[in-house]
Amino acid sequence: MKFYGLFGEKLTHSLSPQLHKEIYKRAGINAAYKTFPFPPDQLHQAVNSLKILSISGTNVTIPYKKAVMPFLDKIDPVAQKLGVVNTIANKDGKLTGYNTDYDGFDLLFKRRSWSVQDKDVTVLGTGGSSQMVVAYLKDHGARSITLVSRSVKEAVEDERLRYLTYEDSAEISGHFLINTTPVGMYPNADSCPVDPAVISRFDALIDLIYNPMETVFLKEARERGKPGVNGLEMLIGQAVRAAEIWEDQTFPEELTDSLIKDYEQWKGA
């Protein structure tokens, strides 16, 4: 049996163990998955334990996605570009860091045949998830990317980028509006990151939050007849991709589709 897990500081409410258990069950893999919570001053020891205990891989969540990188033997090019690791594979005692959130985000678009090519996209938030989203938008040909945060930054690295504060964003419009902030997440589920009037000026909405399944942000989109998607598919997509890396195989699309369908029902129960 192979052993996998999740590195983080506070993991009491993590959905990863349940999700990975389902992946292994449906893929016919003999593996176990558990959480490994620990304080920041034990990060180096935790990474070393992967080799010592022959743990085949782990996911990594806050606050260690950046901090873990110096302790790894190799970084995958996508994770290197993003500066964030969320998956570690242990192959013969060598630890390689990956970022599968990028693949999970891509799944949202593939399942709807959506494209950001030559589109105007606004991203709410400038944290780690936002950096991944911006990298994806650049790689897939977005025409313009507006980043909205509490304070303005200068967009010197790419002419497609511009920064606005929430106070200056009242008149923004475009094709996609993407929320990467925790605003609207359980237990503060009654909040919306922007005025509902802003939502009316976009063609489609994406919220990386998956709990609740329908945030106020997506509810406002639905009531205005706008297509919207939450972060559940991204969560499942990144988990499946992590398992593929660990097992060195590609799972059929039907596995991911069935997980999404069933997990929507589980969450709605």
Query: Choosing from 10, 21, 65, 91, which is the catalytic residue?
Result: 65
Residue 20 maps to a domain: yes
DSSP letter, residue 73: S
Residue 90 CA to its chain's centroid (Å): 22
Report whether pLDDT(230) > 70. yes
Task: Report the domain count for the chain.
Answer: 2
Q: Which of 33-37, 41-45, 59-63, 74-78 has the lowest mean pLDDT?
A: 59-63
Range of the domain at 86: 2-99+233-268
Q: Are residues 202 and 140 in the same domain?
A: yes
pTM: 0.90
Report whether pLDDT(268) > 50. no
Q: What is the pLDDT of residues 89-144, one digit of tens each?
A: 999 999 999 999 999 999 999 999 999 999 999 999 998 889 999 999 999 999 99
Question: Is the pLDDT higher at 32 or at 15?
Answer: 32
Q: Report the pLDDT value the prediction gives residue 263, as an integer from 0 to 100.
A: 86
Q: Report the pLDDT value the prediction gives residue 14, as an integer from 0 to 100.
A: 82
pLDDT-derived band at 15, boundaries 50, 70, 90? confident
Report how far residue 216's alpha carbon sits from residue 184's, in angstroms, rounded to the nearest whole number.
7
Q: Are residues 207 and 126 in the same domain?
A: yes
Residue 54 maps to a domain: yes
Q: Are residues 206 and 247 in the same domain?
A: no
* Residues 6 or more apart in contact with residue 43 via CB below 8 angstroms: 7, 64, 67, 68, 71
Report how far residue 238's alpha carbon sits from residue 240's, in angstroms, rounded to the nearest whole number.
6
Report whether pLDDT(156) > 70. no
**Domain with 128 in it: what CATH number?**
3.40.50.720
Residue percentage of the chain with pLDDT more than 70: 97
pLDDT-derived band at 154, boundaries 50, 70, 90? low
The answer to whether residue 65 is catalytic is yes
pLDDT-derived band at 269, boundaries 50, 70, 90? very low
